[in-house]
Structure 1
Amino acid sequence: MHLCISSLSSSTTSLLMPSPTLDYLTLIIFSLITAFTLSILCSVLNRKKKMYNLTNMKGRVTIYSTTGCPHCKHAKSALNELGIPFVDVNLDNYPQARKEMEEKTNRRTVPQIFFNNIHVGGNDEFSKLEKDRLQELVNEVTNNEPPADAPQIPDPSTAVQSDVSSDIKCEPDEYAVLAKALRESGLVSNHRKNLKWHKKTIIGSEATEWLAKHKNIDIDEALKLGQELIDRYFLHPIHGDRKFENGSSYYRFLEDDDDKALNMEFTSECEPRSASEVGEDLRRLILKTYSKYLSNDGKKIDYKGIAESQEFQEYRRAAAELQRVNVATLSKEEKLAFFINIYNALIVHANITVGPPVTVWQRYRYFNTVSYKIGGYNYTLNEIENGLLRGNRKAVGSFRKPFSKDDPRLPIALTELDSRVHFALVCGARSCPPVKTYSSKEIYEQLQSAGEAFLEGDEALQIGEKEVKVSEIFKWYRVDFGTTDEQVIQRIFEHTGPGSKRNKLQTLLENKSSVKLSYLPYNWDLNSN
């Protein structure tokens, strides 16, 4: 305090010095006011300084994290503000460290924070530490080296390279060149049959004749080429089976569909890759972008910054590859990871380019119109969530299923519902789960972690003596969690990680007492700056 006052005195004395003509009592009052004023100024300045400035620690603070994790970013920001150095063990880069973290903490969620071998817990526990307890932990790492049972730091040479090249290369597709030439041949036009117009279409017979002439081949070979263009998702028939015929049928190029899919800004001219490979690249790109523009407190996303970023421009071009991927051959685990990642990426994409919904009507239109073209077909957010991931179940407030019995997209839908997908899908609102990405190899563990992380927060789960308050997600999708309150509470218990909340739920279930299930208000405010 003395140093602070002396540093401020030269700049404040001339402003606060009273007139020499004032009496002694006035001088005393003035001195007290001056001391009080300087004390407040020092307090303000000291708040801006780091509480600790540990430069010569004998021990180590370790934090387990993942890329793009909001709670991880908040915890690391808090440690930096306190002046406490730490070692960040990113589980995306060092997946082998996850096993040790789970063994030492009995938890799957991140962050997990250690001061030497002392496990503090996650971001919530760290933020609630009493000042005296924090000082004890600081003393521990200041004066003591890490014991043998402290978390081990992975060898940097074992890090997994998870970044995506800024310019994703691809093999050019010869059929893309042919499709472009056919589309620009002048044959695409508006055609009327009976009383109905078919806009921007091409007639099968005319396309067959052009292909034969352009490639100098016979009609049979031209028909095979036309079929290849359909099979490779360059064009599709307006009606009937996906078959190319030398007749009066109409066909339309994907670029000429009027569904306004957000990934149709560019045409994919790449040789089609596996859906898993494309999905993995997009997963890494969106995670890289999201992580960079996530606020330090982990609660907000700078959508404007993303829109102007080079990373987002790369993502827009890369998303064009979805137009022609084959999702029919994906396994259950691959479908789960692929469509969860695509749904979450589409939310971010739409919030940037379309704008987030505000009213109930806007939300209805948003989830039923915002779409990507995937494997030749259009998929809205509603169709990805309720049609594919929920096994073609009715959306909230809807009277019919997303896909009819003869919809060609129906075979892509999962046949078994994993209710944990609700903890993985984001909507851009404050009460939604945070954006994360998922891999097919670890999808079930990641979904469990997502549920545990979501239910850790009081905005998603609060437990009283005879009442369980839970996110309205459990109300809207109650059919996915159980038909009775007890079944829903049992499912919540299964998705809650080790700790006080799980223990309370277990006690309620074991006592079989009457427990009221109620729902917490949902915050639809946008998670943006």
Structure 2
Amino acid sequence: MENPLPIAVDFPNQNIQIEFDADAINANSPNPTGDLSDSHRNGTIIRPHLLLPKPDAPPGLLKKSFSFPEKFDSPASAIGKFFREKSNSVSEALKRISSLTKDGNGEEEEDLLVKEFDLVGVKVVKRLKQGTKELNVRISFFSRSNCRDCTAVRSFLRERDLSYVEINIDVYPGRERELRERTGGDSVPQLFFNEKLIGGLAALNSLRNGGMLEAKLEEILGTKCPDDAPAPPVYGFDEEGEVAVMDEMAEIVKVVRQRVPIQDRITKMKFVKNCFSGAELVEELIHQLECGRKKAVEIGKQLARRHFIHHVFGDNEFEDGNHFYRFLEHESFIPNCYNFRGVVNDSKPKDAAAVSRSLTCIMSAIVESYASDDRLKLDYLGISNSEEFRRYVNVVEDLQRIDLLTLSHDEKLAFFLNLHNSMAIHAVIRIGHPGGMIDRRPFFSDFMYVIGGHPYSLNSIRNGILRSNRRPPFSLIKPFSNGDKRLELSFGKVIELIHFGMWNATRGSPRIRFFRCEGIESELKKAAREYFEREDGVQVDLAKRRVYLPRIIKWYSADFCQEKQLPNWIINYLDASKAGLLTHLLSDGGSANIAYQDYDWSLNL
């Protein structure tokens, strides 16, 4: 018999671990319980046998009554079901009373407990519950994103399985003042046990190496956490920070939105929805602002530059006459934009570099808190319920009318790499991860953000912006057509290392990371090295004279050198062991066969 699948069941006064062997059960008893197992894609879920004792419900948890169902097949069947349930409830109550019978010493009688099971494929192990010590102390520490010492403190607490509260100053800038008041400076990390300051990483290492950490915890273990200890961040409460400055055109837009006739029209043999003519907008501006026609046309151009309105075909900026325009909120792509929540952000657009830094800090904090140490697995449920993610969703609304043309080359590269990776997390949370080929289009092409007045998907960022508007794999068309305004942001030359910095929520993709514009080239090289070191990265088989490369290189072969030159290019990003094998393979002048690894599309849970 193969190793059984363990299932732990808690009983009132004991811990019984019941181990099922699914194969043995299914082979010897096709369906002993009537509904024992459910087959799933990733395995089999085994349900407890009907003859096994049932665990008690947690205190305070009431079982939902089905005595009065919402839907009846017939009155007679409903009445019969009601009496059957009540009869079962009485029987269960009698059983519980009898099980509580005590002997003369006041101890519970164990003769009535189940001692023997005659079930095929079931193994019962009776173990005593292990007492656990409740830790009342609140461990909290102040941190910043991308801080090596903060990562060390976080890893230490996780290894010791200690619950902690992290207060990231980059996510909660209002708490920086509290940090200064409590510690006398702004350096991080700063660790607290309740209200008592322990210090930074050096102080923590000193306690650990000196064997004083346990004593320090025991010292305050039984004390209640006082009110003056650092408070955990509260979900849903924004701090008093920078007040949004309304765009100077916002009041004008607010008026003309209500006054301009918005209709469906036909132009150039095409049906366009929710639009108005340039002449109608000009007339309304003249009437509302009491200005001349030339001034009204100039205001219309400013509205177009600030992405309040767009030409229906993107042909021109703004002109008076029979040219049709629509407001940003009426664009056809808006329903698919997940950083748009009903209304346009009328605030004055913030500096693109500042917004980029803010997004990077928040997403780095999310990954540090909810990813595994190797960053190959993410806790999406934890992310979706976190205050950090709520703030991220608020910040991405600032991208709606932002001007990305002000970014430098490296700033733009870091912005789009980080945006791609953060959008992938958002897409998994909002629409789910694609289970197959058919589901990949909604994930990679239909999930969008409106950025600078234009829609961007994962596909358009990777292939349209970062790959210089090249066709995606297995596609015949480019992401952006001629005349598309987004081409102004497209890179003129492809940087092949970008493929190792982009993450798409699969186990086969490189690990998730967020980049800073400073030193981004070296960070991309580091990402490539880490990816090639994996089992599904680069492998060298000397016996077969074969080099196994990641499937990503095959899909985007147009971005890399010729296939026969790939071993010489890739050797620069290998560790000493693999580089030595590959050098030995290429040293005799013979040819190396190139093969590509399979790609794992499963979600990185």
TM-score normalised over the length of structure 1:
0.67
Letter in 2 for 1:480: D
| Structure with larger Rg | 2
Task: Give the drift of 1:298.
Answer: 4.0
3-state SS of 2:378 partner: coil
Instruction: After superposition, give the CA deviation of every residue in 1:426-459 in whole Å (9 maximum; x if it has no partner).
Output: 1110111122111222211111111112222222
After the TM superposition, which of the residue ranges 419-428 and 179-188 deviates more from structure 2?
179-188
Task: Give the drift of 1:304.
Answer: 2.4
1:435 to 509, 512, 521: 512
3-state SS of 1:197 partner: strand
Aligned 8 A contact 2:244 2:347 in 1: yes
Whether 1:480 and 2:480 are equivalent positions in the alignment is no
Name the residue aligned to 2:548: 469
3-state SS of 1:202 partner: strand
Superposition pairs of residues 399-438 of structure 1, within 5 angstroms = 399-438=476-515
Distance 1:499 1:170 in 2: 53
Name the residue aligned to 2:572: 494
Distance 1:418 1:349 in 2: 26
Task: Give the drift of 1:173.
Answer: 1.2
2:282 to 208, 211, 220: 208
Superposition pairs of residues 284-433 of structure 1, within 5 angstroms = 284-295=361-372, 298-433=375-510
Distance 1:76 1:475 in 2: 40
Task: Give the drift of 1:182.
Answer: 2.0
1:459 to 524, 532, 536: 536
3-state SS of 1:211 partner: helix
Task: Give the drift of 1:419.
Answer: 0.6
Aligned 8 A contact 2:496 2:560 in 1: yes
Distance 2:411 2:530 in 1: 22
| Structure 1 unmatched ranges of 5 or more | 1-10, 13-39, 50-64, 84-89, 94-140, 144-164
3-state SS of 1:437 partner: coil
1:236 to 310, 328, 335: 310
Task: Give the drift of 1:66.
Answer: 4.3
Distance 2:381 2:375 in 1: 16
Aligned 8 A contact 1:74 1:297 in 2: no
After the TM superposition, which of the residue ranges 442-451 and 506-515 deviates more from structure 2?
506-515
Name the residue aligned to 1:177: 251
2:338 to 250, 258, 262: 262
Aligned 8 A contact 1:461 1:469 in 2: yes
Aligned 8 A contact 2:376 2:512 in 1: no
Letter in 2 for 1:490: N
Name the residue aligned to 1:245: 319
Q: Note closer, same or farther for the CA distance 1:520–1:306 as it changes in structure 2 (3 Å cut).
A: same
Task: Give the drift of 1:525.
Answer: 0.8
Task: Give the drift of 1:297.
Answer: 6.6
Aligned 8 A contact 1:344 1:426 in 2: yes
2:262 to 176, 188, 193: 188
1:517 to 586, 590, 594: 594
Instruction: After superposition, give the CA deviation of every residue in 1:361-418 in whole Å (9 maximum; x if it has no partner).
Output: 2113422222221212222221111111111211100112222333222232111111
Aligned 8 A contact 1:168 1:318 in 2: no
Structure scoring higher RCO (CA < 8 A, sep ≥ 6) equals 1
Distance 1:336 1:309 in 2: 28
Aligned 8 A contact 1:68 1:294 in 2: no
Q: Note closer, same or farther for the CA distance 1:213–1:262 as it changes in structure 2 (3 Å cut).
A: same
3-state SS of 1:184 partner: helix
Superposition pairs of residues 20-169 of structure 1, within 5 angstroms = 66=146, 79-80=159-160, 169=243
Aligned 8 A contact 2:549 2:596 in 1: yes
Aligned 8 A contact 1:67 1:291 in 2: no
3-state SS of 1:517 partner: strand
Letter in 1 for 2:548: K
Aligned 8 A contact 2:260 2:280 in 1: no
Letter in 1 for 2:535: D
2:301 to 224, 227, 234: 227
Aligned 8 A contact 2:470 2:478 in 1: yes
3-state SS of 1:320 partner: helix
3-state SS of 1:328 partner: helix
Letter in 2 for 1:300: K
Name the residue aligned to 1:96: none
CA RMSD of aligned residues (A): 3.6
Task: Give the drift of 1:467.
Answer: 2.5
TM-score normalised over the length of structure 2:
0.59
Q: Note closer, same or farther for the CA distance 1:216–1:313 as it changes in structure 2 (3 Å cut).
A: farther
Distance 2:263 2:406 in 1: 34
Instruction: After superposition, give the CA deviation of every residue in 1:204-249 in whole Å (9 maximum; x if it has no partner).
Output: 1111111122222222111111110101111111135332222121
Letter in 2 for 1:314: R
Task: Give the drift of 1:359.
Answer: 0.9
What is the percentage of aligned positions where both structures have the same residue? Answer: 30
